[in-house]
Amino acid sequence: MSAETLNLIETLGGQIVVASITTMIAVHLALGRFRQEKWWEKKYDAYEEILRALHHMKRDFSDSYERLTESKRDRTPEQEAAFTKAFQTASADLMRHRDLGDFLLSVRAVELLAEFGRGTVEASGGAKQYWEYLDANLIVISATLDQMRTEAKRDLMGRRLTFSWLFRRGPKPWRWEPPPAS
């Protein structure tokens, strides 16, 4: 073989090795990002279910409280059945997410769900009349909804899926300032 042929083989071999390594790195990064995005989507769905359940509970308790305090007419049996079913579904969703724990949710979100469970038990046990029961539970639900919304934003928005560390703003550029007058 001539020197030119050996040189060509070395050049092509080096390029193939570099291209292979670059491809492997690109595939590894792409798969990592894909996995990260899928987990983010699962977390988003979990937080959305929790927030929807809390919203439905708040809406239903508010409606019941208004009906009681503003002398609105009672619900029809169909409305009452729908209310009961929606409440049971929302409660089951919240308890399911609490039981799953920090598999998808942040530790703080799980703590909020546990506090919510304790708060509703305390609110229900301390009430002597129905309006007190509704009012106390409405306070617990509203507080949990606000705190969970904040935690969901922090958990979901806190971790960017892009390579933001590459685009971080550094310190302010140096600027010439005249010396102080003496």
Instruction: Summarize pLDDT for 126-148 with one digit per residue, the tens.
Output: 778 888 888 888 999 999 999 99
The answer to the question of residue 37 being in a domain is: yes
pLDDT digits (tens, 9 = 90+) for 144-165: 999 999 999 998 887 554 555 5
The answer to the question of residue 168 being in a domain is: no
CB 50 within 8 A of CB 148: yes
pLDDT digits (tens, 9 = 90+) for 28-71: 888 888 888 888 888 899 999 999 999 999 998 888 888 888 77
Residue 175: strand, helix, or coil = coil
pLDDT at 163: 54
Threshold 0.75, pTM exceeds: no
The answer to the question of residue 94 being in a domain is: yes
CA 95 centroid distance within chain: 17
The answer to the question of residue 180 being in a domain is: no
The single-letter code of the amino acid at 102 is: D
Cβ count near 94 (within 10 Å)? 21
The answer to the question of residue 143 being in a domain is: yes
Domain count along the chain: 1
pLDDT at 161: 46
- For residue 98, pLDDT over 50 is answered with yes
Classify 179 in phi/psi space as left (phi over 0), alpha (psi -120 to 50) or beta.
beta
Of residues 94 and 161, more confidence is placed in 94
CB 42 within 8 A of CB 104: yes
The answer to the question of residue 165 being in a domain is: no
Q: Which domain holds residue 56?
A: 10-158
The Cα angle at residue 168 between residues 167 and 169, in degrees rounded to 5: 115
